[in-house]
Amino acid sequence: MAKSKNKSYFSGLDRVAYEGPSSENPLAFRHYNPAEVIDGKTMKEHMRFSIAYWHSFRGTGSDPFGPGTIVRPWEKGKDPVSVAKVRLEAGFEFFQKIESPFWCFHDRDIAPEGKTLAESNKILDQVVAHAKQLQKSTGVKLLWGTANLFSNPRFMAGASTNPDAHVFAYAAAQVKKALEVTQELGGENYVFWGGREGYETLLNTNLKREQDHLATFMHMAADYAKSIGFKGQFLIEPKPKEPTKHQYDFDVASGIAFLRTYGLEKIFKFNIETNHATLAGHTFQHEIEVAAAQGMLGSIDANSGDLLLGWDTDQFNTDVKELTLAMVSILRAGGLGSGGFNFDAKLRRQSIDPSDLFHAHIGGMDAYAAAFKVARQILAEGQFERFVADRYSSFDSGFGKDIETRKIGFKELEKLVLTKLGEPTPRSGRQEYLENLLNRYLVK
Ligand code: XLS
Ligand code: NI
Ligand code: NI
């Protein structure tokens, strides 16, 4: 079903224009100017924003207490495959109007499942062909693809960590296909979020065996990707809980331990999601720093949670302070490479108008773009960098350097303290001074 040239799924909502910080138009960008060139790259290229298809085009506002509230006009028709194609057209119109260069999907968001795997694959191929055409005609690209290994009841006890080898096999077959379609659409990364890879109770769980299986699955995926010449970056997306009580990819630190334990550390980087960081009891910036410290910062799932709630609320993030701190760490680490900022965020249940989808993304994009600019200024002026460098400067020379290079040990250090150094002089960490300095950048 081809879309006629002038048909619009979002009539009355135009391509969002940049109007600058003083604009009072709520449907304009005030900070994200896609065409603005900074250091030889446009803002569009710097930010690499992406739209999460599952939330923005499959989300209905349903929750455990009631059905969906969001009704889109294109969601009608008897044939689910035709509806899937029309929905994609609506999606690509939105991606263009919101100036997003990328999108992301799970296999099952874009195409309905058939009665058998063979049928599902066939349907997926049809929809992917349509997506490929839309990518070509709009220039919107695929940041990453992934497989939904958590919604279908067959995965209720996990996919690769399922106690039943049959389910492991099914999941393997599904990821094989998801890798193929991600490659077909030029996906720049492939994401593994461990949907139900965790446990509800240890009473029925062999934790060691499940973790071994998870690693085996990752190795199989990497081998297959290699065999088909898939060049995209593999990403692990940690999350501590939800849907299971304990998810194996708890946070970045436990993810690093897992990858190293099983010899996967060269194959993976991390896709860090803000709300997953806070669910794990960390700040967003903390997770970025832990990944960056190991050269494993890959991509961002841009959202935020509600610190008073214990689940993944997946809200759009407009907290410029939180994002500025994250951006400082990201830029200091050299950026995201093939990654980007994917709005893994959904509209609130009462935000039922198509314009709400625009306001949501405008807010997220503007907050990130503003944070990007402030972070660049902070790094260019280097006040925090100099402060931190100075704080550790005793390790730059003399016995401090000898410690870092492991030239000396306890014996030499004891002798130094007893004969020369004596008692150390305490120095202020100056936290309040630094917090005020940060606010000088944020509040002009
Ligand atoms: C769920 C995850 C999921 C991944 C992709 O909490 O964020 O949406 O990003 O499977
Ligand atoms: Ni996510
Ligand atoms: Ni999430």
Residues 6+ apart with CB under 8 A from 351: 61, 70, 360
* Nearest protein Cα to ligand 1, atom 2: 193
Q: Does residue 154 have a pLDDT over 80?
A: yes
* CA dist., res. 360 & res. 316, Å (int): 6
In angstroms, the CA 181 to CA 106 distance is 11
Residue 6 pLDDT: 64
Give 341's DSSP letter: E
- Ligand 1 touching residue 193 (CB < 6 A): yes
What are the CB-based long-range contacts (under 8 Å, 24+) for 137-141? 137/92, 138/92, 138/95, 138/96, 139/101, 140/92, 140/95, 140/96, 140/100, 140/101, 140/102, 140/103, 141/101, 141/102, 141/103, 141/186, 141/188
Q: What gap in Å lies between CA 275 and CA 345, rounded to an integer?
A: 10
358-375 pLDDT per residue, tens:
999 999 999 999 999 999
- Quick check: is 286 catalytic? no
Q: Please tell me the distance between residue 271's alpha carbon and the centre of ligand 2 in angstroms.
A: 8
- Rounded (5°) CA angle 31-35-36: 60
Percent of the chain clearing pLDDT 90 (strictly above): 98
Q: Output the CA torsion sign for 373, 377, 382, 384.
A: negative
Report how far ligand 3's centroid is from the alpha carbon of 281 (Å).
15
Q: What percent of the chain has pLDDT over 70?
A: 99
Ligand 1 close to Cβ of residue 301 (< 6 A): yes
- At 289, the amino acid letter reads E
pLDDT in tens, 425-437: 999 999 999 999 9
Nearest CA to ligand 1 atom 8: 344
> Any long-range contacts for 377-384 (C-beta under 8 Å, 24+ apart)?
377/441, 378/324, 378/328, 378/438, 378/441, 379/328, 379/331, 379/332, 383/437, 384/328, 384/434, 384/437, 384/438
Q: Tell me 418's DSSP state.
A: I
Instruction: Give the separation between CA 42 and CA 35, rounded to whole angstroms.
Output: 5
- 285 CB burial (10 A radius; 0-12, 13-18, 19+): buried
Give the pLDDT confidence score for residue 1 in this predicted structure. Answer: 45
Quote the ligand 1 centre to 394 CA distance (angstroms): 43
Q: Which of 107, 109, 314, 344 is catalytic?
A: 109
pLDDT at 443 over 70: yes
Locate the DSSP E strands across 274-402.
297-301, 341-343
Q: Taking 50 as the threshold, does the pLDDT of residue 263 lie above it? A: yes
Q: Residue 7: what pLDDT?
A: 84
Task: Give the model's confidence band at 412: pLDDT under 50 very low, under 70 low, under 90 confident, else very high.
Answer: very high
Task: Give the tens place of pLDDT for each residue, 331-359.
Answer: 999 999 999 999 999 999 999 999 999 99
Instruction: Using the predicted structure, report yes or no on whether residue 376 has a pLDDT greater than 50.
Output: yes
> Ligand 3 centroid to 49 CA: how many Å?
17
Pairing of strands 198-199, 246-247: antiparallel
Average pLDDT, the chain: 97
How far apart are alpha carbons 108 and 152 in whole angstroms? 10
Give the separation between CA 382 and CA 402, rounded to whole angstroms: 27
Name residue 273's beta-bridge partners. 301
| Tokens encoding 236 | 């692990």
CA-only gyration radius of the chain, Å: 24
In the set 31, 106, 286, 361, the catalytic residue is 106
Tell me how many degrees the CA angle 114-110-197 measures, rounded to the nearest 5: 80
* DSSP code per residue over 375-397: HHHHHHH-HHHHHHHHHTGGGSS
Predicted local confidence at residue 444, as pLDDT: 86
Per the annotation, the verdict on 106 as an active-site residue is: yes
